[in-house]
Structure 1
């Protein structure tokens, strides 16, 4: 439970902020080496390819090398690391959003080799996307070698991605802004510090090692960039064109992915081989500069080509990029996007020059790069900075801002999602665009989850007394506290060593200086410490004062409740119920009826009502007894007395045995009785639940009480809620009573009460809804409780309504007449209050039982608002049965009691 000796010595130095400098430097250094190796590998393979094309038939050489290189790259990606397919930026975004996608050295190595093979063999993609994924994978691997908190791990991954971009473009500020604007969307000091240091180290080291990315230094160009007021309309036009064509390019990429994977249905190696072959054939018929991608890009951005070449470059590059990316090749889209933007910008600049005789196409080419990149990636700030860093020309800043911002707003109107968001969605990963959409539990602190009532032991306690404390408790460890200050922690494994260490008091056995957290630490930090040191609990301290304790179970409950939206407050929540006793009978019924036995005084009548229904519908009966415990105890570890509960259940078993009805029983220990009932319904495949209700509740905001309301709202099966009238008992001559009177359920008390009320006169208010029909179907079984049953169907029309047809009453009377051997009458009435009309009729008829179903929306709303239960169940001396049909069998508007 404590830090290792070496780590205890350097413990103050192990905090994330103090190790960020070293980690950022390592990430930047390794990312720079990876970028240089990638760049050199692509250059060597690409130069060899161009040289061979000059020696033999270009169409054969270029298509053959493209096919072979594509096949090898596809085989490597498919067999070793499928997550390296494509750009890599969507995968990094998903990992930072806590989507479980692998990111480690294996991913970095496969991305490196796969990109060399794919890009060097002629596929028209860029190396900047792979460098971002490689940098992120290096950061992720570093976080495994030097374990840290989950939040810090995300910072390292993002910093690695920024370092990869910075090293590739020689643009450290762009790497930082890309992390802030696109990946993490976080501007905290910790994020900025780590990302800035890693990006600058990566950029500097890559440049020192001889790597020059897409570096466009305008000092080598005879004419510097310029900007005049007359150019503004043309820069606006350029931004408009980029804003429209950018989303079209995104849709083309998605269409290519769809065609490759859902129409061609080839494996990845063959898809990439086909793309490489077609790319070689297309490039072989284009002008010679198109065979060398690096040379072509340089000529485009420096204005060395004419506008006809630019037009060909725009169309051909767009098609070849879609073809290559759709195959799943491990290449990026940054460079192709910049080439497309430069071609578009050059053509606009050339148009201005032809019309007005002013303007510099080279300047427009550079602005077009930023505008098109902004339209596709939706990162206008990064677009401006990345082009400025590549050119180091301040004259470009204003044109870049105009073009990039206009392109961003136009593209956002056309399509609000960036290309990388679309790629994630295409793969079935939906990410929220707002940081506020982060799971609510992720913002919880230790103080929100910890148990504040903590059992502790003193350091001077003897070992024998400590053993007694462990034997009386379900805890496996105790904090050791002296004078309110935490001095150690003692576990069962420590006590097992008492004899070997000749210890007599806890001070000799306890672990001093245990790992602790403060109340302000996040849940992520708590989980990290629990996993890092293989702990099951963590004391929470303010200074040295113990203020609480957190266990793994506490965190699991809080996270589960927050994710499902079932909890409004943090802290220890409900755990699954635990079955401590059960009996089983033969499974011969056609369904199961659940009877929760909470009140022993009404258990007799509730069971006999369940028996009547079970006999009619050929059901088995499942009797449940719930023992509720404190939320600070675990149901699986809490000792409970089940004697009285078992006696009650054994009476139910005897009743079922004498009446030849299978009766199963179980006792569950639970934090929440409603949860235990719902779990039983699901586990035992219950068809109907029959619950007793006392007719009132003291819980604010509840209709029937917290347990009843939860079951009614969530149980998928039929629900029957029974409120027994005062002094109710079965008639001595009823069929069920005749068989059950000799059993302990009856007895002299029940027989004496039998004269107070019978179950003879039944009243069923109806209005045509599914729940009323459900109640009608239960009535033939319930009638077995009566000795001389009489049934009245009652339909009430409010005074605001015109008289309705009585066809429904006629149909229901016919149904009951076929299934009952007793008088059935039907009555209609018109009254402004449905509840009062039903209550008045029940009093006049001296009704014994009212059966209510939520028969239409108006009646349902009244039931759920509590009007009908108050007016009938709470004020009527008779028994009231409320029926709600199975949720799965009816529309939501009909759900209710």
Structure 2
């Protein structure tokens, strides 16, 4: 026995494993991982298919509700100015019903649901998936269909997570399988985002960057399969094309690249303003309990009045963003008006606590900021090859980054939504500029801020505060 072995024996340390032992352990580890991956594969396929079908149903229901809302606006105009009272009354009833459903049956379905999904994945909250799924779907259709300036993407993320929870309850009956349940919940959330935008890579990146905050092989595998299947289902029902259709775009010239830095900085700053305004509105909450519930229908009536005057300011705004990117001309003062009104309506709608997300509204705000910046650059530097709609696309990713603080998700999402890889350099430049500005201002990402606020509120109730 050599001196090193004698020293280890005296100190009670185990002898180092031999190479054959290490190889045996590695072989066992790989075999276990491969077996678990095979077990998860059918669940991931089923999860993606169900999440995709659910997203298709939600999408078509919201399209039908939006069509009915626009028909109501057109019909009411035949009565002149007095006709405004009709959509105001209908929107008031819809908002009251949407908020009441959430508060009465599933408070977990409030808002986008992404902060709740993060809490579930961290083991801080239970997930009553059946109630959340039903209330999220019905309440979302009523509220967003009634004109609330909220998006369908956040709800599809939470509903996808609910499907993952339901499947996880089937395949994870005992404690050692709790990790498998969390993997399915996270993958379901990614599948919901993938289905909402026809963007499977974005759903996968969102799981790794925002929901889980870590990279693990099983989570990556399950989320990738679920996102791919969900996207295939949605494309089969809704069409195999990008969400936004850009004209042919070549890679922007290098001399134009510095122009995207101030755009990113502006979006980073405005993203922080948006986050703090949203949190402040939720803290004030004048429509929360008791007699103050009268604010719910009043807010709905205000939405109906705004929609009667300008229908495009209501709803998630994805079609409006599409028109902005398609090159429909807007004067600078019109861009400012739409930005301010969409900003205010999104903040107020989310603060009611109805089921609806801020994903699409954030993208609309970013498109307007980018369009304004593109028109300004075209005016100040007429010799540069400026296409304002390119700035609008870049503004969407950078505003999303300034608020959510998930730059890779924003960049990949815009590439998939436009089907154009040529914008990768402007997207990265503006998005990481927005990230640095928001971090420099010490602002929490919006979903993390809501998650922490909810935990603090519960801790205050538990402590009698």
The bucket for the TM-score relative to the shorter chain is 0.7 to 0.9
Match in the other structure for 1:345: 370
Q: 1:298 aligns with which of 304, 309, 322?
A: 322
1:224 match:
249
2:204 to 176, 200, 203: 176
Shift of 1:238: 0.2
Query: Is structure 2 residue 395 aligned with structure 1 residue 368?
Result: yes
Could you tell me whether the CA contact under 8 Å between 2:206 and 2:409 is conserved in 1? Answer: yes
How far residue 312 of structure 1 moved from its aligned partner, in angstroms, is 1.6
1:328-477 to 2 correspondence within 5 Å?
A: 328-357=353-382, 358=384, 359-429=386-456
- Using a 3 Å threshold, how does the CA distance of structure 1 residues 312 and 35 change in structure 2: closer, same or farther? same
Is the Cα–Cα contact under 8 Å of residues 153 and 196 in structure 2 kept in the other structure? yes
| Alignment match, 1:63 | 88
Aligned to 2:66, which of 37, 46, 54? Answer: 46
CA drift at 1:395: 1.5
Which residue of the partner structure matches residue 13 of structure 2?
none
Aligned pair in 2 of structure 1 residues 360, 14: CA closer, same or farther (>3 Å)?
Answer: closer
Indicate which of 52, 56, 62 corresponds to 1:36.
56
Give distance in 2, aligned partners of 1:310 and 1:225. Answer: 26
Give the conservation status (yes or no) of the 8 Å contact 1:50–1:291.
no
Task: Give deviations 1:777-822, integer Å, cap 9, x for gaps.
Answer: xxxxxxxxxxxxxxxxxxxxxxxxxxxxxxxxxxxxxxxxxxxxxx
Residues 270, 40 of structure 1: alpha-carbon distance in 2 compared, 3 angstrom cutoff:
farther
The structural deviation recorded for 1:392 is 1.5
Q: CA deviation at 1:382?
A: 0.8
CA distance in 2: counterparts of 1:112 and 1:211, whole angstroms: 22
Match of 1:129? 154
Q: 1:160–1:207: structure 2 CA closer, same or farther, 3 Å change rule?
A: same
The superposition leaves residues 216-275 of structure 1 with CA deviations (integer Å, 9 ceiling, x where unpaired) of 122xx3x525512332232000011011110110011111112225x7645796444332
Instruction: Give runs of aligned pairs for residues 329-728 of structure 1, distance below 5 A.
Output: 329-357=354-382, 358=384, 359-429=386-456
Q: Residue in 1 aligned with 2:28?
A: none
Q: Are the structure 2 counterparts of residues 140 and 81 from structure 1 closer, same or farther at C-alpha, using a change threshold of 3 Å?
A: same
- Which is richer in helix? 2
**What is the rounded CA distance, in whole Å, between the counterparts of 2:62 and 2:55 in structure 1?**
11
8 Å contact kept, 1:32–1:205: yes
Contact kept, 8 Å, 2:313 with 2:342, in 1: the verdict is no
User: Which residue does 1:120 correspond to in 2?
Assistant: 145
Q: Hey, what's the Cα distance between the residues in 1 that align with 2:241 and 2:421?
A: 20
> Aligned pair in 2 of structure 1 residues 65, 37: CA closer, same or farther (>3 Å)?
same
Q: Is the 8 A contact 1:226 1:360 kept in 2?
A: no
Q: CA RMSD in A?
A: 2.3
Contact 1:32 1:163 in 2 (8 A): yes
C-alpha offsets along residues 427-486 of structure 1, whole Å, 9 cap, x if unaligned?
2359xxxxxxxxxxxxxxxxxxxxxxxxxxxxxxxxxxxxxxxxxxxxxxxxxxxxxxxx
Who is 2:341 aligned against? 316
TM-score normalised to the size of structure 2? 0.84
State the alpha-carbon separation in 2 of the partners of residues 13 and 421 from structure 1.
Answer: 31
Q: 1:208 aligns to what?
A: 236
Q: Which residue matches 1:578?
A: none
* CA distance 1:213–1:128, change in 2 (3 Å): farther
| Matching of residue 254 in structure 1 with residue 254 in structure 2 | no
Report if the CA contact (8 A) 2:321-2:364 is conserved: yes
Kept after mapping to 1: 8 A contact 2:272/2:443: no
Indicate yes or no: 2:37 matched with 1:17.
Answer: yes
**C-alpha distance 294-381 of structure 1, shift in aligned 2 (>3 A):** closer
How many Å separate the matches in 2 of 1:60 and 1:231? 49
Take 2:290 and 2:393, find their aligned partners in 1: how far apart are those partners? 39
Matched-pair contact (CA < 8 Å) for 1:337–1:369: yes
CA distance in 1, matches of 2:260, 2:331: 17
**Is the 1:36–1:209 contact (alpha carbons within 8 Å) kept by the matching residues of 2?**
yes
Q: How far did 1:407 drift? A: 0.4
* Residue pair 1:307, 1:350 contacting (<8 A) in 2 also: no
Residue number in structure 2 paired with 1:278: 302
Structure 2: gaps (5+ residues): 1-31, 78-82, 458-465
Tell whether the 8 Å contact from 2:318 to 2:360 is kept in structure 1 after alignment: no
Structure 1's 266 and 362: CA in aligned 2 closer, same or farther, altered over 3 A? farther
CA distance in structure 2 between the partners assigned to 1:124 and 1:211 by the alignment: 25
In 2, Cα distance between equivalents of 1:301 and 1:212: 19
Q: Does residue 111 in structure 1 map to residue 130 in structure 2?
A: no
**For the structure 1 residues 404 and 95, does the alpha-carbon distance in structure 2 shift closer, same or farther, using more than 3 Å as the test?**
same
More strand per residue: 1
Q: Which structure has the larger Rg over C-alpha atoms?
A: 1
Q: Give the TM-score taking structure 1 as reference length.
A: 0.45
Alignment coverage as a number of residue pairs:
415
Q: Counterparts of 1:833-844 in structure 2 under 5 Å?
A: none
Partner of 1:162: 190
Per-residue CA deviation, residues 396-429 of structure 1 (Å, 9 max, x unaligned), is 1110000101001111111341001111122235
1:244 aligns with 2:269: yes
Q: Which has the higher contact order (CA 8 A, sep 6+)?
A: 2
2: distance between equivalents of 1:368 and 1:299? 15
Q: Give me the whole-angstrom Cα distance separating, in 1, the residues matched to 2:425 and 2:361.
A: 24
Extract structure 1 runs of 4+ deviating beyond 3 A: 12-16, 211-214, 263-272, 288-295
The question of whether the paired residues in 1 share the 8 Å contact of 2:288 and 2:352 is answered with no
Contact 2:194/2:201 (<8 A) preserved: yes
Q: How does 1:673-822 map to 2 (within 5 A)?
A: none
Unaligned runs of 5+ in 1: 1-11, 431-897
